Amino acid sequence: MIGRLNHVAIAVPDLDAAIAQYAGTLGANVGAPQDEPDHGVTVVFIELPNTKIELLHPLGDNSPITGYLDKNPAGGIHHICYEVDDIMAARDKLLADGARVLGTGAPKIGAHGKPVLFLHPKDFNGCLIELEQV
């Protein structure tokens, strides 16, 4: 069901410092910050030859990233994203197999302009998983 790894998301307490680190220290191709109000985050994508890194920073007072950074003040890996061909078929199979889809279970449009869903980390070895339809 899952396809290639789309990205690894890292929550960061200081977005400008993280951008400078990836662009300067690591010499990576870093995109522009992009506000995603529906998800409560500002994202920056770092393009790698085989995948992407997504830097996440809180946007607004109700950002889900704020709680993560409260528990992990230095930041850290927040989630991994896998590609799927059909997000509704993937959701239905996961639900039938007992996995929990976060939120209402209806896909939202993600930072790439494609439908996404998140899966409960307690069902996947403590890892928050995002599925993105390609």
Residues labelled catalytic: 130
What stretches of the chain adopt beta strand conformation (E)? 5-11, 29-30, 34-36, 41-47, 52-58, 76-84, 108-109, 115-119, 129-133
Kindly tell me the burial class for residue 4, based on how many C-beta atoms sit within 10 Å of its own C-beta (0-12, 13-18, 19 or more): exposed
